[in-house]
Structure 1
């Protein structure tokens, strides 16, 4: 069974006429008839019945046609994907990132990139550190922002693009809310609102508290930056969040205070599979990102 036979078969099914199908295919009518006959012989069934000058699909022909049309559609998509893979100005970029970067950073950089490449499409996938690593290694995304940046990994490689400071967020009525800077130890009696286990920010905050001489008392655990920020603003406790996670999304906002001792930071990296060649459009995006962060750090 050849692809040509399937293409001829579908065209005849669509036109319900061998001559009209041949004209649209720009081949001789005899060539189309011969290919259809060979296909029927190979399958051992009649795919068409003659009705006057037209032909109509038999019941089994209808079943076969629906499958063949799906195969041809998938093949066309595959060809288009190959073309997009080789075109740095089109195609789709599959990007993974943690939730905290989706508030401001990801929309900002995507908007800037699309000014240069307006035809590029994006598919986004949010996740925690383990799931982002898995998405990259399983080729479910082309690139991923990840925190903390894994400096050594068997299956992924990348670049450290940003080191971001974490600040204390406090209820507006907190005694330290008006301070410019504090020592983290000044919060040792407060109750903390932390990310749930599995989120990369949790061990960063926990380790910082240990360095400051205390273990944080946990009041609540959450999975969304907005939830933690809202609970702090409502007076339910204190927390530490990256600055880029503090862009206003509602009226209820906590106070933010810098921490001078210890300095609390997180690293953010851009990673991809170590054994895979990126599509050209993803290569263009990666180059843009590295230049974007290099320029921002100057």
Structure 2
């Protein structure tokens, strides 16, 4: 029978990248950790790690074991949270990190299906830069990160990318600004006042390449790390701003802006990044299904 204590030690060694760091986290000696992991490998009849310089790396068998260990201990953590925090009710806890460059209306549309399940869900939302959210995901303080880009392979964080959907990029503005650039779009963006997302956004480099390819030189008036602040400036007529076509209805209703033009040369993609390969949490399944069938399907059908 599988020794779950040994599996837990192995999981921590894989997660923290070595025996010494795992021992520090668990407040145990490296010898204890190393011995228990060796016994696990022996009982399974496989090598779980191999030495690469000063680091331990997972073998193919180790990768498989780690994936299953992730699911086992994530399930255990969810059970513990439910028993401790929900003694008098049965709400499922869903801890979500949202990148600060993701439009608030997109985040709401993606996450709201989790609150409409028959089984009540308590949603804990955190907004931050992706680097901070990935760090929280790595230590399982988050169940999900909503981002505008997949998890980079070189972050050292174990996670899985699930594409929720994509749509074309649109340029929004007040009626006066929209009217001034609507004819001969996108060439009309040349010298037009523009608000840009900051360098943390996946849109920034894509926009710069597109402008260069199209021979367009807009008048960039400001850059914003926070998409909501960019829209607030756009609402006041400071400049046009790029945002997903999928938010057109919300943008008109909340900010009084409309679309000046769109381009399919740039895609706005949104991902759910989870510590598990499979979306086992009922709320995660609802988010994924709704994103594909509702949030982005209307835009896709207009294309």
What corresponds to 1:265 in structure 2?
267
**Displacement of 1:107 after TM fit?**
3.4
Out of 293, 296, 302, the position equivalent to 1:295 is 293
What corresponds to 1:219 in structure 2?
221
Q: Distance in 1 between matches of 2:145 and 2:203?
A: 17
C-alpha distance 177-217 of structure 1, shift in aligned 2 (>3 A) = closer
**Displacement of 1:248 after TM fit?**
4.3
Out of 165, 168, 193, the position equivalent to 1:165 is 168
Deviations 1:83-140, CA, capped at 9 Å, x for gaps: 489xxx6331101123465633443454433332453211111123333323322322
Out of 183, 186, 195, the position equivalent to 1:184 is 186
C-alpha distance 140-255 of structure 1, shift in aligned 2 (>3 A) = same
Q: Distance in 1 between matches of 2:241 and 2:220?
A: 10
- Normalised by the length of structure 2, the TM-score is 0.58
What corresponds to 2:81 in structure 1?
81
What corresponds to 2:59 in structure 1?
none
What corresponds to 2:31 in structure 1?
none
1:208 equivalent to 2:210? Answer yes
Kindly name which structure, 1 or 2, has the bigger radius of gyration based on alpha carbons: 1
What corresponds to 2:237 in structure 1?
235
SS in 2 for 1:174: helix
Deviations 1:121-167, CA, capped at 9 Å, x for gaps: 11111123333323322322111111123475652112111112221
SS in 2 for 1:164: strand
Residue correspondence of structure 1 range 187-198 to structure 2 within 5 A: 187-198=189-200
Residue correspondence of structure 1 range 15-54 to structure 2 within 5 A: none
Q: Distance in 2 between matches of 1:106 and 1:117?
A: 21
**Displacement of 1:225 after TM fit?**
2.8
What corresponds to 1:120 in structure 2?
121
What corresponds to 2:140 in structure 1?
139
8 Å Cα contact 2:192-2:219 kept in structure 1: yes
Consecutive unaligned residues of structure 1, counting only runs of 5 or more, are: 1-76
What corresponds to 1:27 in structure 2?
none
**Displacement of 1:182 after TM fit?**
5.2
Q: Distance in 2 between matches of 1:134 and 1:184?
A: 39
- Normalised by the length of structure 1, the TM-score is 0.58
Pick the structure with more helix per residue.
Answer: 2
Out of 247, 254, 257, the position equivalent to 1:254 is 257
SS in 2 for 1:264: strand
Number of residue-to-residue matches in the alignment: 215
Q: Distance in 2 between matches of 1:178 and 1:194?
A: 17
8 Å Cα contact 2:196-2:220 kept in structure 1: yes
Q: Distance in 1 between matches of 2:202 and 2:135?
A: 15
C-alpha distance 226-116 of structure 1, shift in aligned 2 (>3 A) = closer
